[in-house]
Amino acid sequence: MIAFPQSDLRWAIHAAAGLSSFSAASVGSPPQRRRPLCISGSAGGGRTSPKPSVCTADELHYVPLPNNEWKLALWRYLPSPQRRRRNHPLLLLSGVGTNAIGYDLAPGSSFARYMSGQGFDTWILEVRGAGLSAKNSLEELKEPLQGLLDTAQVSPITSQLKEFGHRLGNIVDETQQPITQFTGLQNRFSITLEDFWKQLHLIGKYNWDFDHYLEEDVPTAMDYIRNQSRPKDGKLLAIGHSMGGILLYAMLSQDGYRGKCTELASVITLGSSLDYTTSRSSLKTLIPLVDPAKAVNLPVVPLGALLAAIYPLASYPPYLLSWLNPQISAQNMMHPEMFERLVLKNLCTIPAKLLSQLSTAFEKGGLRNRSGTFFYKDHLHKSNVPVLALAGDRDLICPPEAVYETAKLIPENLLTYKVFGEPRGPNYAHYDLVGGRMHPLHPVPCEGVADYGPLPQCKYHVTVREVEPSILHPVSGIIRWM
């Protein structure tokens, strides 16, 4: 397991908690923004909207959750007219606390854009609270948010965040001496946390967990995509990174338990597992952080703001938090500009309830439902869906042994399992499975299926059946599967 420099971590946590000079009064009202709407007549009750600049998809769709004020954002990438259109639309699910940008960092580094270029009607789901998903109605987004930072509203949360930070610091070894304060860091914390403070009106509504995504968000998105793309058999292809893959595993398990005919044609998981107990996952070091959030009744953890604030310590001399970068990407696998965009633009605020439920993946029996009565791994063997489970040899968050712990439960005739990476490189960390560098490779079309050449070298490769149509994994290598 990675060794975190404890004094560095302790100091950074306390620095985040000690922003005594930052107050609600220091943040002005957000500027008024006008976002005109174009209401489509499409099935499923969704709406399309002129895209904000951050959205690089061909279309942006909003899908209302039933009996809920949230509207899910769906980024759509239309299939290339130069390619044979695939039989099934493709759904991409992101990791915990991330948005759609991870699948579409830039024109030359876009998982989603590549897949649409290969003929897939490609959709990225932003679950509630992530990216462009919206709590207010779309009409309300056209109006300025008045009284957003009312002191009476902000002060309790401010106190909770400070107490949370101090409790996190106490987890780290008390005997370690904090390092000298990095010049100007507190000012950077103040600046990068402003976006978080501006969302405080939503914090009281950040009360969902993993099961809400599983039972409401993903099925709602799938229904909408099915109505838009209209596949003949009513099924979708799905790729999930990290928590996105966990959601897909959980869905397969539920369908198997209920004897339900699945709505997924096939599944690819990237760095995902339902059970981390036997692995050396670096997340085990952070699991104790869930308890301080509970202790101070903090409803959210502002992951995006905190990582953006400490990013200079990991990426610029004197590299005080250099252990952070390998958690995301292996050496030389991402261009520095892409890495910075990923850290600063891809991360979001996470509900404490979500983290609390996900932490059960590190307990005996693995991830379970909110009531603790259903262990998701127990029914994977009942699935009838082909699964490709991919792992990175340098993935510190979800190591290969964690990926295999879940993948081995899939029926043998349906499983393909690969670990990418070589001792001399290239190596693949957690995000490299989605957006790491690779040399350009050109597909050679074959009858009915695209042959994209040899697979990257794998440490070990458990393949029981190759399933078509095949997919090129646009960054970490070639996948002749799916």
Tokens of 242: 């990290």
What pLDDT is stored for residue 355 in this prediction? 85
Highest mean pLDDT range out of 7-16, 238-247, 458-467?
238-247
Instruction: List the single range of 32-46, 226-240, 338-352 with lowest mean pLDDT.
Output: 32-46
Q: List pLDDT tens digits, range 358-395.
A: 989 999 999 999 999 999 999 999 999 999 999 999 99
pLDDT given at position 88: 94
> Which residue, 270, 420, 268, is CA-closest to 330?
420
Mean pLDDT of 81-98: 92
Spatial contact of 383 and 253, defined as CB atoms under 8 Å apart: yes
Which pLDDT score is estimated for 298? 56
At residue 391, the 3 state secondary structure works out as strand
Burial class (CB in 10 A: 0-12, 13-18, 19+), 180: exposed
Residue 254: both structure tokens together: 């539920």
Report the largest interatomic distance among the alpha carbons of the chain, rounded to a whole angstrom: 66
What phi and psi, each to the nearest 5 degrees, are found at residue 358?
-65, -30
Q: Is 204 exposed, middle or buried, given 0-12, 13-18 or 19+ CB atoms closer than 10 A?
A: exposed
Checking if the pLDDT of 169 tops 50, the result is no
Q: What is the torsion angle, in degrees rounded to the nearest 10, for the CA atoms of residue 431, residue 254, residue 463 and residue 125?
A: -30
* Alpha carbon distance 303, 206 (integer Å): 14
Q: Using one digit for the tens of pLDDT, what is the confidence trace for 129-146?
A: 899 998 754 334 333 333
Provide the sign of the torsion angle of the four alpha carbons 108, 112, 113, 119, taken in this order.
positive
Q: Which pLDDT band holds residue 4 (cuts at 50, 70, 90)?
A: very low
Q: What are phi and psi of 388, to 5 degrees?
A: -110, 115
Burial 103-124 (b: 16+ CB within 10 A, else e): bbbeeebbbbbbbbbbbbbbbb
Q: In this predicted model, what pLDDT tens digit does every residue of 110-124 receive, in sequence order?
A: 899 989 998 999 999
Nearest to 97 by CA among 431, 480, 337, 399: 431
Per the model's pLDDT, the better-predicted residue between 43 and 412 turns out to be: 412
Min mean pLDDT across 13-27, 218-232, 270-284, 417-431 is at 13-27
For residue 339, the model assigns a pLDDT of 82
pLDDT at 313: 54
pLDDT in tens, 255-278: 999 988 889 999 999 999 999 998
The predicted structure's pLDDT at residue 77: 97
| pLDDT, position 306 | 60
Query: What is the 8-class DSSP label of residue 471?
Result: E
User: Are the CB atoms for 15 and 185 separated by under 8 Å?
Assistant: yes
Residue 154 main-chain phi, psi, to 5 deg: -85, -40
- Reported as a pLDDT band with limits 50, 70 and 90, residue 48 is low
Cα distance between residue 277 and residue 362, in whole Å: 5
- Please check the confidence at residue 308 and state whether its pLDDT lies above 70: no
pLDDT at 354 > cutoff 80: yes
Residue range 339-366: average pLDDT?
A: 85
pLDDT attached to residue 266: 93
pLDDT at 46: 60
State which H helix or E strand residue 389 sits in.
strand 387-392
- Concatenated DSSP letters of 132-143: T-BSS-TTGGGS
Are residues 366 and 450 in contact, defined by beta-carbon separation less than 8 angstroms? no
Least confident of 174-183, 205-214, 297-306, 352-361: 174-183
Judged by average pLDDT, the poorest of 83-87, 218-222, 349-353, 358-362 is: 349-353
**Dist. CA 334–CA 340, nearest whole Å:** 10
Provide mean pLDDT across the span 168-182. Answer: 39
> How far lies 172's CA from each of 18, 33, 182, 209, 314, in Å?
16, 43, 19, 27, 18
CB of 361 closer than 8 Å to CB of 276: yes
- Does residue 44 have a pLDDT over 60? no
Q: Positive or negative, the Cα torsion across 154, 156, 157, 162?
A: positive
- Res 425: pLDDT: 81
- C-alpha closest to that of 60 among 131, 135, 140: 131
**Span of 157-166, 226-235, 282-291, 408-417 with lowest mean pLDDT:** 157-166
Distance CA 288, CA 6 (A): 14
For the ranges 41-50, 169-178, 339-348, the lowest mean pLDDT is seen at: 169-178
pLDDT the model gives residue 457? 40
The confidence score (pLDDT) of residue 262 equals: 87
Q: Is the peptide bond before 469 cis (omega within 30 degrees of 0)?
A: yes
Q: How confident is the model at residue 51 (pLDDT cuts 50, 70, 90)?
A: confident
